[in-house]
Structure 1
Amino acid sequence: MITIESLTKTYGRFTAVDDVTFTAEPGRVTGFLGPNGAGKSTAMRVMTGLTPATSGSALVCGRRFADLPNPGLEVGVLLDASAQHAGRTGREVLTVAARTMGLPALRVTQMLDLVGLTAAESERRVRHYSLGMRQRLGLATALLGDPEVLILDEPANGLDPAGIRWMRDLLRGYADQGATVLLSSHLLHEIEVVADDLLVIGHGRIVARGTKAELLASAGAVVRSSEPESLARALETAALAFTRDGDTFRVDADTDRIGHVALSGSIHLTELRAADGAGLEDMFLELTAATQRESTPSEGAAA
């Protein structure tokens, strides 16, 4: 489990993470979303002990990361696949990590097989790896100690479609075995497919949280009528906000509320459904519209 309580991180007068509180539960994949510079990476760096918090707390498995006696056995971390020793081979990178954790050499071979790095590829120096291969190696390192928590920042970068599908299935299976998976990604479709819970951050603050079903349901409903003018008047009378395209309406209300309004006005509906077809991308853009920004050079480390 990951427990974040009133977490704040400032750099001078700039607040990268602002009073953030959330919990990532065991057995679930939690998608951590936000625009560039929103505070995702800073929050994850605090969780993993790389950046000290200004105030608040970040606990992993009930303790601060720095207080874990052998962190790799409890928390698997992948924040930057490029931050690996370029002069070592893939097998050497994993071997050093295994020895640090007190794990047998057999575990290295098992992880190479799990992430799909061949024997020949494992003997190549990391400087000659593609980004996708570095991602696989980074994920192998994160999984090496069979941890109960995974914290992953953009793990799909550089992977081809087959690799993304493989990673998705791997993380889903890992969570289904009882692990906590916190996943940040700009590939919103992949988050939508694999995540159970969603956290959306903007300007360092959580702007939405909940299960995927709850947040996508909040997108409202789509309704169509053979009597569009009557429906428009009824929605206005009921003080329900909507947008209209011909006889089709997007309404900020659930289907039960809209159905009741139509029934009260004896209005014939030809379609009424939750607007979940809008998907995560539309929801994300709507929630973060006021917080979209590009990182400035001074904020790059606080992205």
Structure 2
Amino acid sequence: MITVEHLTKRYGEYTAVDDVSFACKPGRVTGFLGPNGAGKSTTMRIIAGLTPATAGTATIAGVPYRHIPNPATQVGVLLDASAQHAGRTGAEILRLSAMTMGLDRSRIDDVLALVSLTPEEAGRRVRNYSLGMRQRLGIANALLGNPQILMLDEPVNGLDPAGIHWMRGLLRNYADRGGTVLLSSHLLHEIEIIADDLIVIGQGRIVAQGTKEELLAGSGTRVKAVDDAALGQALAAARIVAHPAAGGGFHAEAEPAVVGHVALDARVHLVELRPGDNTGLEAMFLQLTQQTQREQPVNQGAFR
């Protein structure tokens, strides 16, 4: 189990991680999401003992990473697939890791088979690997010590569709056997397919966390009126937060019965009143992180 409590990391005046707390449980895949620069990689580096925290704690089974004896046999980490010695072969990299961990060399053949790297590919120098092959080698290295916890940052980068499908099955099987997986990725569709729990971070702070079902469940109310301006005024007067919806009307942060009563009292004629939709992980992600996105909607007038 990974436990992060009130974690903060500052670089001078810049706060990269700001009072972050969450837990990753055994038997579950936890998806860690956020815009570029949100603090995902910094948080994972702190958990892996590579970056010191300014405040707070990050522990694995109750112990900081750097205090775990032979940690690679407890925690498999892949934070940057390109950070591998380009002049060594894949097999040499795994042999060095196995020697460091005190493992039998037969384990190397096991993980190479697991990640579908052939003996011929394992004999190539890493400088000649594609990004997808480097990802497979990084996963093999993370799994070499047969750990109970996996921490992976963007593990499907460079994988083709077949490789992504393979990775999905590997992580699902790992969690189903009781392992703990913390997975960071910008491929929201893949996270939506495989994750059990979600953590969304923006500008260094957690903006949402919970099970996938909880966060993706339809919420609030989709409401539309003959006179949307009057409806918006009535909702504002009732202190109900409402966001303009595509096609007119609003998505109101209240139950349909409450919204209906507000419209009735204001004598606003409704043409639509229903529970909010489950619009998927991408819509949820964009809504939760809209104030922390680096990329903002394009002003089409700029191209005219």
* TM-score, shorter chain, exceeding 0.5: yes
Instruction: Provide the secondary structure at the position in 2 that maps to 1:275.
Output: coil
Question: Partners of 2:91 and 2:26 in 1: how far apart?
Answer: 30
* 1:148, distance to aligned residue in structure 2 (A): 0.9
Task: Give the counterpart letter for 2:226 in structure 1.
Answer: E
Instruction: Provide the secondary structure at the position in 1 that maps to 2:30.
Output: strand
Identify the residue that residue 297 of structure 1 maps to in structure 2. none
Identify the residue that residue 95 of structure 2 maps to in structure 1. 95
Question: Partners of 1:259 and 1:219 in 2: how far apart?
Answer: 15
Note the 1:274-289 alignment, pairs <5 A.
274-276=276-278, 278-289=279-290
* 1:229, distance to aligned residue in structure 2 (A): 3.2
Question: Partners of 2:123 and 2:112 in 1: how far apart?
Answer: 11
Question: Partners of 2:257 and 2:175 in 1: how far apart?
Answer: 34
Instruction: Provide the secondary structure at the position in 1 that maps to 2:226.
Output: helix
What are the Cα deviations for residues 8-27 of structure 1, in whole angstroms up to 9, with x where unaligned?
11111111111111111111
* 1:261, distance to aligned residue in structure 2 (A): 8.3
* 1:216, distance to aligned residue in structure 2 (A): 1.5
Contact preservation (8 Å) 1:4, 1:58:
yes
Note the 1:30-109 alignment, pairs <5 A.
30-109=30-109
Task: Give the counterpart letter for 2:290 in structure 1.
Answer: A
Question: Partners of 1:244 and 1:5 in 2: how far apart?
Answer: 37
Instruction: Provide the secondary structure at the position in 1 that maps to 2:147.
Output: coil
Percent identity between the two aligned chains: 61
Contact preservation (8 Å) 1:86, 1:126:
yes
Identify the residue that residue 133 of structure 1 maps to in structure 2. 133
Contact preservation (8 Å) 2:32, 2:200:
yes
Coordinate RMSD, CA, aligned: 2.7
After superposition, the Cα gap between the structure-2 partners of 1:242 and 1:82, relative to the gap in structure 1 and judged at 3 Å, is closer
Task: Give the counterpart letter for 1:287 in structure 2.
Answer: L
Question: Partners of 2:11 and 2:155 in 1: how far apart?
Answer: 26
Match for residue 229 of structure 1 among 201, 219, 226: 226
Give TM-score, length-normalised by structure 2.
0.85
After superposition, the Cα gap between the structure-2 partners of 1:236 and 1:65, relative to the gap in structure 1 and judged at 3 Å, is same
Contact preservation (8 Å) 2:41, 2:153:
yes
Identify the residue that residue 299 of structure 1 maps to in structure 2. none
Name the stretch that deviates more: 128-137 or 255-264: 255-264
After superposition, the Cα gap between the structure-2 partners of 1:81 and 1:245, relative to the gap in structure 1 and judged at 3 Å, is closer
Contact preservation (8 Å) 1:235, 1:261:
no
What are the Cα deviations for residues 31-69 of structure 1, in whole angstroms up to 9, with x where unaligned?
111111111111111100111111111101211110011
* 1:251, distance to aligned residue in structure 2 (A): 3.9
Contact preservation (8 Å) 2:228, 2:249:
no
Contact preservation (8 Å) 1:3, 1:23:
yes
What are the Cα deviations for residues 138-183 of structure 1, in whole angstroms up to 9, with x where unaligned?
0011111111111110001001111111101111111111111000
Instruction: Provide the secondary structure at the position in 2 that maps to 1:37.
Output: coil
Identify the residue that residue 13 of structure 1 maps to in structure 2. 13
Contact preservation (8 Å) 1:26, 1:175:
yes
**Unpaired segments of 5 or more residues in structure 1?**
295-303
After superposition, the Cα gap between the structure-2 partners of 1:175 and 1:262, relative to the gap in structure 1 and judged at 3 Å, is farther
Name the stretch that deviates more: 170-179 or 232-241: 232-241
What are the Cα deviations for residues 251-276 of structure 1, in whole angstroms up to 9, with x where unaligned?
434567668989999x9988945411
Instruction: Provide the secondary structure at the position in 2 that maps to 1:5.
Output: strand
**Unpaired segments of 5 or more residues in structure 2?**
296-304
Task: Give the counterpart letter for 1:167 in structure 2.
Answer: M
Identify the residue that residue 291 of structure 1 maps to in structure 2. 292
Name the stretch that deviates more: 285-294 or 97-106: 285-294
Name the stretch that deviates more: 235-244 or 169-178: 235-244
